[in-house]
């Protein structure tokens, strides 16, 4: 896992002050994210009746008997039930209950991210150190890191093998690849961190139009994040290239 990751913020969000004031990362349930195709997947077909029965034993001996004695039509009905209820819905419900996610990017220079997630370049982006974040874990409450894989079709999983939950939540459609997402997952609760876990601040090129909010960032910086005094940058949109230039900015 890369050492430095980036999270974009918009002042239009009521939670933009959270990393400064409360010093935690919010891990959201899958049902609250902005992509309805989160955790969409398919299952490979069972290779034999024996595989079906082995799977059903974990749920209902009665259904094993129904399958063994059933007609071809009845077997097809049971297979549909397995796919719809035992596999797809139960897995999704389980993941919604136990998996919280927090999304980051691999770079602070992604043009669409500044437009989509930082209020048209008037927000900011924070650089986090993953190693320092990991050190803030208490007991078993660690963060699991995963680079998102961008695919054209939903991933296929074998129902006869133990599920790898990180794989279920680390695939997105290829249309999202511009995000260059690094996904963190753990229990859907707040994860508290130390101030030094934030290692740089990147200000949007239009942030000075939000002067009151910028004053708050300066206040937070002076109070709890003095180490960022020499690690603050302002994004400059170039006139002749599709690139962002980061200029050192003295704020506090």
The C-alpha angle 203, 204, 209, rounded to 5 degrees, equals 105
Residues 89-126: tens digit of each pLDDT: 667 777 777 788 999 999 999 999 999 999 999 999 99
For the chain, give percent helix, strand, coil, nearest 5: 40, 25, 35
Which run of H or of E encompasses 62? helix 61-69
Domain limits, the chain? 4-30+98-248, 42-97
Q: Is 246 exposed, middle or buried (0-12, 13-18, 19+ CB in 10 A)?
A: middle
**Which of these, 43, 28, 35, lies nearest to 86 by C-alpha position?**
43
CB contact at 8 A, 53 and 67: yes
**Which of these, 21, 22, 25, lies nearest to 6 by C-alpha position?**
25
Burial of 41-60, coded b for 16+ CB within 10 Å and e otherwise, reads bebeebeeeeebbebbeeee
Task: Give the residue ranges of the chain where pLDDT is below 70.
Answer: 39, 47, 52, 54, 56-60, 63, 83-90, 140, 160-164
Burial of 143-169, coded b for 16+ CB within 10 Å and e otherwise, reads bebbebebeeeeeebebeeeeebeebb
Distance CA 235, CA 248 (A): 9
What's 124-180 look like in SS3?
EEEEEEHHHHHHCCCCCCCCEEEECEEECCCCEECCCCCCCHHHHCCEEEHHHHHHC
CB contact at 8 A, 247 and 236: yes
Within 10 angstroms of residue 223's Cβ, the number of other Cβ atoms is: 12
Q: Is 70 exposed, middle or buried (0-12, 13-18, 19+ CB in 10 A)?
A: middle
DSSP secondary-structure letter at 121? T
pLDDT at residue number 106: 98
CB contact at 8 A, 227 and 195: yes
pTM here is 0.84
């Amino acid at each position: 896992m890369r050492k430095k990751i980036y999270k974009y913020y918009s002042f239009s969000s009521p939670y933009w002050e959270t990393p400064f004031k409360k010093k935690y990362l919010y891990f959201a349930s899958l049902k609250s994210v902005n992509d309805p195709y989160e955790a969409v997947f398919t299952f490979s077909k069972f290779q034999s009746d024996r595989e079906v029965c082995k799977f059903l034993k974990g749920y209902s001996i009665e259904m094993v008997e129904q399958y063994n004695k059933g007609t071809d039509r009845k077997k097809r009905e049971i297979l549909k039930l397995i796919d719809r209820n035992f596999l797809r819905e139960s897995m999704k419900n389980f993941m919604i209950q136990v998996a919280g996610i927090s999304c980051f990017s691999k770079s602070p220079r992604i043009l669409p991210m500044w437009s989509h997630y930082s209020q048209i370049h008037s927000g900011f982006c924070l650089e986090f150190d993953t190693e320092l974040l990991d050190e803030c874990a208490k007991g078993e409450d660690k963060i699991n890191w995963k680079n998102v894989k961008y695919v054209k079709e939903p991933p296929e999983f074998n129902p006869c093998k133990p599920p790898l939950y990180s794989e279920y939540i680390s695939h997105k459609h290829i249309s999202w690849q511009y995000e260059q997402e690094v996904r963190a997952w753990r229990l859907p609760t707040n994860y508290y961190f130390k101030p030094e876990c934030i290692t740089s601040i990147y200000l949007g090129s239009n942030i000075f139009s939000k002067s009151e909010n910028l004053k708050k960032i300066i206040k937070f910086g002076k109070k709890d994040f003095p180490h960022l005094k020499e690690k603050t940058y302002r994004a400059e949109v170039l006139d002749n290239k599709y690139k962002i230039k980061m200029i050192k900015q003295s704020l506090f």
